[in-house]
Amino acid sequence: MTSSVLDLAPVLPVVVLTDAADAVPLARALVAGGLPAIEVTLRTPAALDAIGAIADGVPDAVVGAGTVISPRNVADAVAAGARFLVSPGWTDPLLDAMRASETPFLPGVSTTSEVVALLERGVTEMKFFPAEAAGGTAYLKALSSPLPQARFCPTGGISAACAPSYLALPNVGCVGGSWMVPADAVAAKDWARVERLAREAAALRG
């Protein structure tokens, strides 16, 4: 089982798939480029099938489910083969379901109060979302002194250009983004381009 999603790679690809047939070649390209952790968002009807295909067909990948917003999402994602869970925000029922699944999870936060509430519940690893809109690196840097025990995966508006500034922060384990899986490359099944972009992303933290 995955111990910490934050430590698998500097960048967590956030993937939206409309065709589950693309899941395995896409995952292979990301893994070959050095990004083994893959978040497949539950935004399309193909998402659960895509998670299952990657779990079964790409053993070197660590596939997880994103946009987990309900206990039902938790159950469906784990049943499909997800090895971690990511939510854009959290409620007590959702947090209870993620914890009960015994699957690593990153609940989403965007305020200091939400961070403190999770720390009270023993959760120290979180998704910071939407990162750029919610204050970006300046906000996370400000949190690091009073709340050093909290670690984050910032996601939302992050690009290859700004990712290094996030990764330089002591309370950031990895960043989430989709720039290495551009929609046009997926549509064209240009897996070589995905692998190249993944390799560049994997090298952002030297």
Three-state DSSP at 84 gives coil
Sequence-distant contacts of 100-103: CB under 8 A, at least 24 apart? 101/74, 101/75, 102/1, 103/1, 103/74, 103/78
Per-residue pLDDT, 206: 57
Which one of 127, 132, 141, 195 is the catalytic residue? Answer: 127
pLDDT at residue 144, rounded to an integer: 97
Token pair, residue 167, equals 């990764």
pLDDT tens, residue by residue, 152-174: 999 999 999 999 999 999 999 99
Residue 177 token pair: 């983004």
Active site includes 127? yes
What is the pTM for the complete model shown? 0.96
120 catalytic? Reply is no
Residue with tokens 């910490």: 4
Catalytic annotation, pick one of 39, 132, 141, 195: 39
pLDDT attached to residue 205: 77
What's phi and psi for 128, nearest 5 deg?
A: -100, 115
Residues of the chain with pLDDT under 50: 1
Counting other chains too, the contacts that 111-114 makes at CB distance below 8 Å and 24 or more residues apart are 112/143, 112/147, 114/89, 114/90
**Residue linked to tokens 């960043």:** 175
